[in-house]
Structure 1
Amino acid sequence: MTIPYVCILFSLLLIYINKIPVSLAMAKEEGGSDNHYPRDQQARLTGIGKRALGAHQNSIEAFPVFYLTDLTRFRSVVWTIGLVLSVSLYLLPFYS
């Protein structure tokens, strides 16, 4: 395995490693882990649990695959094509 592949694998594992302290902090809260509304429980975390949640979310955002799927140029081209086609439908009766 080459170094770039090892780095990508490590960044993938880092997402799940950073989730461990979040799960522990959620389990320590009153009532244990809330499986029905976990995001509400995560929003109430304080201290190390809140910091671990931030680290977990940052590692997801920094993962290269998520960066590669952000196709802003493609989205802009599709939006522009849709706009041009919509305007052309309004102008079509004047030129036919």
Structure 2
Amino acid sequence: MTMAQICLLVACLLPLGCTWLAKSKGFGKRRRDGGFDNHRPREWLANLSGWQARANSAQANSWEALPIFMAGLFVAHQHQASQATVDALAMGFIAARLGFIALYLADLASLRSLVWAAGLAACVALFFVS
């Protein structure tokens, strides 16, 4: 596997990690005691607050960021771009996503948006490497 392929796998798993963080408030509790409600998961998640609510939002944003990253990798591969360049951009995207999630959890909105833009820039750059 190339580093870019490993980064793709990581990018696919990041939303699941965010979901785990969001749902952690309900782990070990019965549903009637506020534990996670698998019968109405979206309603339960909508009632979260604080960092768990932000983790759920980071999960949604991670899913939203995934298609452009995948498309960028696909185009870079089609253009037979240098693997080292593709790997570096993919690692940059993952670093930005990890930073984005951490900043989302910490409620640092302006810095989070800046890091989000860096991740987007890495994705866009994948379209232009050759």
TM bucket, shorter chain:
0.5 to 0.7
Question: What's the offset of the Cα at 1:34?
Answer: 1.1
1:10 alignment counterpart: 10
5+ residue gaps, structure 2: 72-130
Tell me which amino acid in the other structure corresponds to 1:12: C
Contact 1:26–1:41 (CA under 8 A) maintained in structure 2:
no
Report the equivalent of 2:35.
Answer: 32
Equivalent residue number for residue 50 of structure 1: 53
Residue 62 of structure 2: aligned partner = 59
Aligned-pair identity in percent equals 38
Unaligned 5+ segments in structure 1 are: 69-96
1:31-81 Cα shifts (integer Å, max 9, x gaps): 31112111111111000110000111111111137975xxxxxxxxxxxxx
Runs of 4+ in structure 1 off by over 4 angstroms are 65-68
- TM-score (normalizing by structure 1): 0.59
Give the alignment of 1:81-92 within 5 angstroms: none
1:10–1:67 Cα change, 3 Å:
closer
1:77 is matched with none
TM-score, structure 2 normalization: 0.45
